[in-house]
Amino acid sequence: SGRPTKISVVGAGHVGMAIAQTILTQDLADVLALVDANPDKLRGEMLDLQHAAAFLPRTTILSSVDFSSTAGSDLCIVTAGARQIPGESRLNLIHRNVELFQKIIPAVAAKSPECMLLIVSNPVDVLTFVAWKLSKFPPNRVIGSGTNLDSSRFRFLIADHLQVNAQDVQAYIIGEHGDSSVALWSSISVGGVDLLSCLEKEEINYEKETLEKIHKAVVDSAYEVINLKGYTSWAIGYSAASLARTLLRDQRRIHPVSVLAKGLHGISGEVFLSLPVQLGRGGVLGVTNVHLTEEEAQRLRRSAETVLEVQSQLEI
């Protein structure tokens, strides 16, 4: 289009700066705008990134405590907000972060009325719903990073178990980016070979609880990292940057991300949950018709109820 591609990152904390750094190293934007409430931290991060100019593809880096630097963005990535303390569930952050979103989202939407919104702050499914309501954008332009990261963790664990490359493991976690997420065991393939049938053929004796254990390891992994280093940043940074690349380069790739799931798989409420969807320049291009077993569909509907329950406590 010739017009410079612009990404704004709202929130210059660990997650926001991991995403910003990956945007620069992967040359995903011509202009990168940073926003944060702390002026010194924000200016420090901007200068520190600008000083790497000689080693990076040329990117104009702006920053502002207000939202002026975000004007005319193609993609706005929102990472601002309180983060879990060790042992705290993501859903527990909701009241603090909704208040913040009531300031952030209308301002970002007013400055970039045509942008795509990528929500990363937790609880991401509820906050993506809140961003959809507050921005008044069509739902195809409001996406949550959701279980794109959980699915990468899942693929890593399976790949590590089988000693293959995680990029050759096609596996989805869907639903809430949280404790009620759903592992789609029935649709996992490794190098195009259906996993469960290949385990059967090898007579690898896998008990249901083995599968449950691997899924639980995925759910617990963020808690473990938070307990060890206080927060997660690199994996979510690469996850969000992979979504930014797909969206801005119109890659038409399929990612499990948080989208308006109303009407899908028997879900009736206005709720954002992760499902495998095709993404491109227009945001959500389509929802794949992934096959769910009856048990997987039931778990997905229970996950929807969990998120709707938290959402029902909000006044926005």
Is 36 one of the annotated binding-site residues? yes
CA atoms of 18 and 22, how far apart (whole Å) = 6
292 binds ligand LAC (CB under 6 A): no
x/- mask, ligand LAC, residues 117-156, rule CB under 6 A, reads: -----x--------------------------x-------
Report how many residues bind ligand LAC under the rule CB under 6 A: 6
Residue 123 C-beta: closest distance to ligand LAC, Å: 9
236 binds ligand LAC (CB under 6 A): yes
Residue 1 C-beta: closest distance to ligand LAC, Å: 31
Per annotation, catalytic residue among 95, 161, 177, 215: 177
Burial of residue 25 (CB within 10 Å: 0-12, 13-18, 19+) is middle
Q: Are the C-beta atoms of 280 and 246 separated by less than 8 Å?
A: yes
Q: Are the C-beta atoms of 169 and 158 separated by less than 8 Å?
A: yes
19 binds ligand LAC (CB under 6 A): no
Residue 114 C-beta: closest distance to ligand LAC, Å: 27
Could you say which of 91, 222, 244, 271 contacts ligand LAC (CB under 6 A)?
A: 222
Whether 177 is catalytic is yes
Residues within the interface to ligand LAC (CB under 6 A): 90, 122, 149, 222, 232, 236
Give the residue ranges of the annotated binding site for NAD(+): 11-16, 36, 97, 120-122
Q: Residues with catalytic annotation?
A: 177
